[in-house]
Every structure is written in structure tokens, then in C-alpha cells.
Amino acid sequence: MTITREELRAALGTVTVLDTLGGAYYAQQHLPGAIALVESEVAEQAPALLPDKNAPIITYCSNPACNNSKAVARRLTALGYTNVRRYVEGIEDWVGAGLPVESS
């Protein structure tokens, strides 16, 4: 399942947002409140980061050509998470719309 920019914007603060780019990309800019989680770390980190398997989770990466968000969403679903959606357009769309980002 996917989520639009406006739906995500309205849901911020009530959903867990996962930046699937990680590393330097996450440090440079990420959606407000986003947590970095890359595919290779899902099995190890998800239980601690995301204890509620029914909570709403949104994954995103850079743009529709990036498959990181799909890969992380697929892994989470395989681990039993029931409410995972993807912001397919990614951070490029978010920034392009003039919406705020954070850096670390």
C-alpha cells in the first residue's frame, strides 16, 4: 500500500516514518521525526525500534526509482507488521513541495 504526500503530511506525529536510505543521506536530510532503517538491518533492529506490529509505519527513500522503501516494507511485512505503507515519491517530492526536513 502507498500513501500520498498530503496524507503523510497530515499523519506526521501519529505514524512511524522510516528513512530507508540511511547513512549520509539520512544525516543530510530526512522527513521530520523519521528513523533511519536500511534493509540489511530490519531483522535485527525492527523488534526494538518498532515493538507494535500493528502500528502505522511509512517507508520512503529518494524517489520512485529507488527500491529501498519497497525492500524495507517487504521485510517488515514478512516479519508480521500489518500496517506498512510506502511514500513512493520519496524525499525528493517532499523537498520539491517545500516541506520541512531535518538533518543530524
Q: Which amino acid is at 101?
A: V
Task: DSSP letter for 15, please.
Answer: B
pTM of the model: 0.97
Q: Topology of domain 5-96, per CATH?
A: Oxidized Rhodanese; domain 1 (3.40.250)
Contact of 91 with 29, CB cutoff 8 Å = yes
Q: What ranges do the domains of the chain cover?
A: 5-96
Backbone angles phi, psi at 41, to 5 degrees: -110, 0
Supply the mean pLDDT for the chain.
97
pLDDT confidence of 12, banded at 50, 70, 90? very high
Q: Which pLDDT tens digit goes with each residue over 20-61?
A: 999 999 999 999 999 999 999 999 999 999 999 999 999 999
